[in-house]
Amino acid sequence: MHENMTIILIAATIAALLFLIIVLLVASVVRRASNDRKHRKLDVLRREYRELARKLIGTVETGDGEAAFSADPGSLAWQAVEEVLLDMMNSGVCREDVKAMFHRLGYVSFYENRLSSRNLLIKASAIDKLGRMGTRSSLGKLLSKLDEAEPEILTLTVRALSRIGEKEGLTAIVERLSLLLGQGLVTRKAMETALLTFGVDAIEYLVEYQTRDTDPWIMSCVLETLSHLPPDIRSFHMATEHLQSKNPEVRSKALKVLGSVQPPLPANMPALILPLLDDPVWFVRLQAVRSAKHLSGETSARPIGKLLFDNNWRVRDEAARCLTGFGTYAVDVFLDALMTEDVYAKESICEEIETSRFSDRLIERLISEDEILRAKSYEILRIMHSLRFSIPLTEFLTAGRDDRIKAIIEKILAADME
């Protein structure tokens, strides 16, 4: 009797599990079919509203004809209208007209009301939508969200304010940099991206910020942002004040700002950048090399050439890359380096000469009227060939047109066979 009860219980359990599995499968199929129908209907609505929007927006000033876009909040038609209008804004089509429509159709008030929701996802979505709609009238309500504690909300609020682009939002963000970045509430990348959206308007606020906080982490973020904005004398002066910072990240970002300056360069640029080629931190030396690319090769080639033997391979490669831009001034530096016993350094130099096509200029100088330059170019190409970096030479033999150069190249290639 006991065994029969056990068997019945096991069978009932198995049956219940099978029934549950079947129910879940049926529910999954039904849900998928429902979603498919929903997406198909949504696609149809998008097409209809997109065509209607193209005909209406930009031609109607008073809002006449917008009744066709009215829909119940949360409905498929509401979602389709929202997506169509946001796509038009993103493409730059009649942005101000579209913003006005969002107001008249009730989208702005709908999402503003959702800002007070206790549900984090609903609140986050509302912040994102208001930012994407560029609603200036929502600025005050969005600013209040900068005082909340959830990192996700703060990040979305910063992004939304940057999309709206008002200076009031920029001021509020910069004033809270210490809190938002210092406590890790907003990631540095998100903050830099948001600040860049404000464009040149951000420069004044960022330059003024340096008097408010000495946190190197925040200052490096400010300098990084300035390095991506258009060159400005205010940014330049700010960067020069931080070149001797005790924090290497700050020194590196200050150099990056200087490296963004376009010619004509201030007369003191070499004196500002070149000393940092000897910095004890490798990524500061790396940035110093990158920032020296606009300097004169006459004053910079030799100091940069010393880094061809740097302990860090990134610095060595960047030094070689920078030197190829200095033309004739780099020839002596490369030749001296290739005469050393450091095989790894020599191969790195040859690779960069080949990759940057600096070798093409060396080949052209094989028939230069300058006898010394001609001899040095020949010697560099000869050493490159001895290290098996011969592709530029063989390519010229195939596609080059100057028979004089071809004869000299054949002599270089033949030397390997002797």
Chain segment 220-260, per-residue pLDDT in tens: 999 999 999 999 999 999 999 999 999 999 999 999 999 99
Taking the C-alpha atoms of residue 375 and residue 236, their distance in angstroms, rounded to an integer, is 42
Banded model confidence at residue 130, pLDDT cuts 50, 70, 90: very high
Instruction: Tell me the two tokens of residue 162.
Output: 């940057």
Taking 50 as the threshold, does the pLDDT of residue 418 lie above it? no
pLDDT digits (tens, 9 = 90+) for 161-175: 999 989 999 999 998
**Please, how many CA atoms are within 13 Å of residue 304, restricted to the half-sphere of its CB?**
35
Contact 416, 385 (CB under 8 A): yes
Within 184-327, residue ranges assigned H as helices are 188-197, 201-209, 216-228, 233-240, 248-259, 269-273, 282-291, 297-305, 313-324
Amino acid at 171: T
Taking the C-alpha atoms of residue 218 and residue 191, their distance in angstroms, rounded to an integer, is 10
Banded model confidence at residue 62, pLDDT cuts 50, 70, 90: very low
Taking 50 as the threshold, does the pLDDT of residue 113 lie above it? yes
Taking 70 as the threshold, does the pLDDT of residue 147 lie above it? yes
What predicted TM-score, i.e. pTM, was given to this entire model? 0.77
Taking 70 as the threshold, does the pLDDT of residue 343 lie above it? yes
Contact 152, 124 (CB under 8 A): yes
Q: Say which CATH architecture domain 78-90+97-197 belongs to.
A: Alpha Horseshoe (1.25)
Residues 6 or more apart whose CB falls under 8 angstroms from that of 361 comprise: 327
**Would you state the pLDDT for residue 178?**
86
Residue 314 DSSP symbol: H
Three-state DSSP state, 352: helix
Three-state DSSP state, 306: helix
**Would you state the pLDDT for residue 323?**
95
pLDDT digits (tens, 9 = 90+) for 290-306: 999 889 999 999 999 99
Whole-number average pLDDT of the chain: 88
